[in-house]
Amino acid sequence: MRRNIKISNPVVKERAYKTFVLEYAHTVWDPHTVKNTRQIEMVQRRAARYTLGRYRRTSSVGSMLAKLGWKTLADRRHQARLTVFYKIHHQLVAVPMPLQLKHYYQPTRTENTLAYHIPSSICDYHLKSFSHGLLDPGTYCQNS
């Protein structure tokens, strides 16, 4: 992006980053390993330096991110998953619901009438899937 966009305006740089890098398939591509998550966050940190034009080692990337008002990419992906789940639940998109409702007719002490059954699993590919990670993002296998 730095090579192709030769503009010094931070607003244009921020829009280009959000359009071409940040928003591209972020609801589908969601790493589950710490290493891959750090690598993705590094892209955002480099983009903050690029957007504001601060490349000194003494410049704080954390303060740059705060100035730009950018959330972590993990938070953005979680919010995007919730948005997609809402659209699936309310049939606003043509995607079948991956989970089954528990069919409570009255709210219980611990769950409401729209509670979904989350299948248990010990397989990484299922635990890290869209539907399981959406509703239970803190559950991971012991060996991951």
The pLDDT, as a whole number, for residue 134 is: 54
Indicate the pTM of the whole model. Answer: 0.64
Q: At what angle do helices 34-52 and 73-89 cross, to 10 degrees?
A: 110
Cα–Cα distance for residue pair 134/99, rounded to 1 Å: 11
Instruction: Determine, yes or no, domain membership for 136.
Output: no
The pLDDT, as a whole number, for residue 133 is: 53
Instruction: Determine, yes or no, domain membership for 62.
Output: yes
Rounded average pLDDT per 10-residue block, the chain, 144 residues: 78 82 66 83 89 90 92 84 84 79 69 70 64 48 39
The pLDDT, as a whole number, for residue 83 is: 86
Of 44, 64, 35, give the one whose Cα is nearest residue 52: 64
Cα–Cα distance for residue pair 136/28, rounded to 1 Å: 16
The pLDDT, as a whole number, for residue 137 is: 43
Instruction: Determine, yes or no, domain membership for 12.
Output: yes
The pLDDT, as a whole number, for residue 19 is: 77
Cα–Cα distance for residue pair 103/116, rounded to 1 Å: 8
The pLDDT, as a whole number, for residue 140 is: 39
The pLDDT, as a whole number, for residue 95 is: 79
Instruction: Determine, yes or no, domain membership for 88.
Output: no
Instruction: Determine, yes or no, domain membership for 116.
Output: no
**Cβ-Cβ contacts under 8 Å for 6 (sequence gap 6 or more):** none
What range defines the domain where residue 9 resides? 1-71
Instruction: Determine, yes or no, domain membership for 54.
Output: yes
3-state SS, residue 23: coil
Number of domains within the chain: 1
